[in-house]
Copies of this chain bind each other. A is one copy, B any other.
């Protein structure tokens, strides 16, 4: 089995892109990634598009063929991959398998989502499709309401104060300031977070990832293809890739404060990459809501259960801490264009491993991890990247 390398990355800014369509965003990110790899479009053999809701929101399915055509390379292999908010990570996993299989040497993964100016503008209806329509959505429960249950359960079980958890948002915004792709590159204070409106008790507005539009792309290639690429000072390997599921609905789980799919997916990815949590220099977690960031850090092995929030107050998540986390702004401040998020996270990790993270640079980062979550943990993908030179 060939090793898999990230030959190029590209992304649009995350924003309310009123002047760009879904295809504009996909094409822009794709061309940037292909260019970054020093390749031509003709080198691409297969495309995997990560997207959740283009059918419902834009009235557009069949994004693989659409993108191939608008990139000017009809004829290539292409399909869309969906796993709710983990669609981006799932597309990367399928692309990883494609290169690993030996059938393709050079593939493009593109995450894309457009939540603002949609044919059907009801993003809330789109997002609850990540959960069970027949047993949950019909009751009127929204996606944020489910996460509010998790938040309450966590605070109760581990006697954590909301302020300790909510400071995750403050952390994210501090790093977004230096990220040109970020949707909200500005500082916020804990007081502002705690004074912001309650969306679903206890989740505050400023603890919630925003709605936005964006696309991020990666070019993955095999060892064979690598020989054709121009020499880079830095080369990044996609050393571990995994996807796991968990009991689909929150109400069927015995413990709301842990996500089994995170535990399983990370253990698989660690084993595949031959690393342990202590070897990881930079982490991206799927903090769609502040409490999730905390829970994820625990499930991924960076803290004991119930102690994840302490990493924040101890400064461990800072770029010079023990577990530099969401150092480009995370979902809260870089943004969360649902099906694209998992690809943005890998983009961010690659920036760190290449030493291209500017003021947010983690010194000497060699191993990075990105965790992408679908639904309330119904699916989790974990990717581990390693600088190999």
Contact = CB atoms under 8 A, between A and B. Distances in A.
Contacts of A55: 52-53, 55-56, 126, 129
A127 B281 CA distance: 46
Interface stretch (A74-82, A161-169, A302-310, A343-351): A74-82
A173 interface: no
A61 B84 contact: yes
A140 B81 CA distance: 28
Interface of A is mostly: mixed
Given A78-B379, A83-B78, A134-B21, A69 B247 contact: yes
A64 B252 CA distance: 17
18 contacts: A21-B134, A55-B126, A55-B129, A59-B125, A59-B133, A64-B245, A64-B379, A65-B245, A66-B248, A74-B261, A75-B245, A75-B264, A77-B242, A79-B90, A81-B94, A94-B97, A97-B103, A100-B102
Interface in A211-260: 242-249, 252, 260
Stoichiometry (number of copies): 2
Interface string A255-285: 0000011001000000000000000000000
Quick one: which of A21, A23, A62, A82 has the most chain B CB within 10 A?
A: A62
Contacts of A75: 244-246, 260-261, 264
Contacts of A83: 62, 64-65, 78-80
A375 B260 contact: no
Contacts of A23: 134
Contact of A100 (B82, B103, B126): B103
B245 A61 contact: no
Contacts of A379: 62, 64-65, 78-79
Given A80-B83, A93-B79, A246-B75, A1 B64 contact: no
- Which of A52, A248, A260, A261 has the largest count of B CB atoms less than 10 A from its CB? A248
A60 B97 contact: no
A67 to B, nearest CB: 9
A82 B97 contact: no
B82 A62 contact: yes
A84 to B, nearest CB: 4
Contacts of A132: 60, 66
Interface in A98-130: 98, 100-104, 119, 125-126, 128-130
A75 B68 CA distance: 33
A185 interface: no
A142 interface: no
A137 interface: yes
A342 to B, nearest CB: 11
Nearest to A377: B65
A80 B82 contact: yes
Nearest to A4: B101
Among A53, A59, A249, the one with the most B-chain Cβ atoms within 10 Å of its Cβ is: A59
A69 B69 CA distance: 36
A368 interface: no
Interface string A125-168: 11011111110010000000000000000000000000000000
Nearest to A2: B101
A119 B93 CA distance: 31
Given A129-B60, A137-B59, A84 B65 contact: yes
A330 interface: no
Given A243-B79, A264-B75, A65 B97 contact: no
Given A65-B375, A84-B62, A103-B97, A244 B76 contact: yes
